[in-house]
Amino acid sequence: MSGEEPIIFLDKVMLHYGDGAPVLKSISASLYKKSFYFLTGASGAGKTTLMRLLYLGIRPSSGQLKIFGKDVSDISRREIFEIRQKIGVVFQDFNLLNHLTVLENVALPLKVMGETEKQRENQAKEILDWVGLGGCFNAYPDVLSGGQKQRVAIARAVIIRPEILLADEPTGNVDEQIASKLMNLFYGMHKMGTCVIVATHYRQFVDTFHYNELKIENGRIIANESSFDPKGDSLA
Ligand SMILES: Nc1ncnc2c1ncn2[C@@H]1O[C@H](COP(=O)(O)OP(=O)(O)O)[C@@H](O)[C@H]1O
Ligand SMILES: [Mg+2]
């Protein structure tokens, strides 16, 4: 591989919850900028756990994890905040705030970053148009369908133009047509330079888009060498 430094580097990462047996036994992988990865594996394999590690929600029990070249084993709260500013996350359960409108939910990360109200509103509207929710600015999350909520969550994740986008089972709650649309959104993000990581057990996309596949089996990543392409551009 080229001398490019990975944006995410895992070396023999082990993770167990509490006193339990390791969920992830030894995860080693190098992920690169501007690439697209599917994270696969059976239900319970540890996909969500790995996503939590990458978002710094939990730390490895042992082994090394570096994000943006920084070892996360001993970083300050300030550094965690800075790293998270560069990572967009779409959680499995959306995590939308029900007392805020769609527009306010999507604009929230920009508020945290200190942008003006006008800037926030303009950018949130632009992204909501992009995900096909231009008519829903003032709606509250509880009147939206699962697929619409999912797209609000995606809009909120991408509004900061993250360097890394983590999406955990993003097509789990939507029909096939919307799932295809979401995949196209992720593809668009990847094309604009984001490292996109999509956890899914939906084989159809993995088989259709010949992107890198990181498959977790028995607590380890089984590299899919045949389709390995660090730039994730094999479809282009
Ligand atoms: N917070 C937690 N505490 C204890 N065990 C957990 C926790 N979260 C997940 N697990 C366990 O870790 C294993 C992997 O779960 P998860 O990462 O959610 O897998 P996946 O997303 O691939 O379905 C499962 O056996 C699950 O029960
Ligand atoms: Mg999961």
Which residue pairs, CB below 8 angstroms and at least 24 apart, start in 210-214? 210/234, 210/235, 211/36, 211/37, 211/38, 211/235, 212/35, 212/36, 212/37, 212/38, 213/37, 213/38, 213/40, 214/29, 214/37, 214/38, 214/39, 214/40
Query: What pLDDT sits at residue 176?
Result: 80
Query: What pLDDT sits at residue 228?
Result: 45
Residue with the smallest CA separation from ligand 1 atom 18 is 48
In a domain, residue 231? The reply is: no
Domain interval for residue 142: 99-161
In 136-187, where do the E strands start and end?
A: 164-168
- Ligand 1 pocket test target in 23, 54, 93 with most atoms within 8 Å of CB: 23
In a domain, residue 123? The reply is: yes
Query: What pLDDT sits at residue 2?
Result: 55
Do 198 and 38 form a contact (C-beta atoms < 8 A)?
yes
In a domain, residue 153? The reply is: yes
Domain count of the chain?
1
Residue with the smallest CA separation from ligand 1 atom 8 is 49
In a domain, residue 108? The reply is: yes
* Partner residues linked to 4 by β-bridges: none
Pocket-forming residues, ligand 1, beta carbon under 6 Å: 17, 23, 41, 43-49
Query: What pLDDT sits at residue 234?
Result: 40
Question: Which segments of the chain have a pLDDT < 50?
Answer: 225-236
Query: What pLDDT sits at residue 174?
Result: 73
In a domain, residue 73? The reply is: no
Query: What pLDDT sits at residue 233?
Result: 45
Taking the centre of ligand 2 as the mean of its atom positions, its distance from the CA of residue 142, in whole angstroms, is 23
Q: Is 229 helix (H, G, I), strand (E, B) or coil?
A: coil
In a domain, residue 111? The reply is: yes
Residue with the smallest CA separation from ligand 1 atom 9 is 49
In a domain, residue 190? The reply is: no
Distance CA 22, CA 73 (A): 18
In a domain, residue 134? The reply is: yes
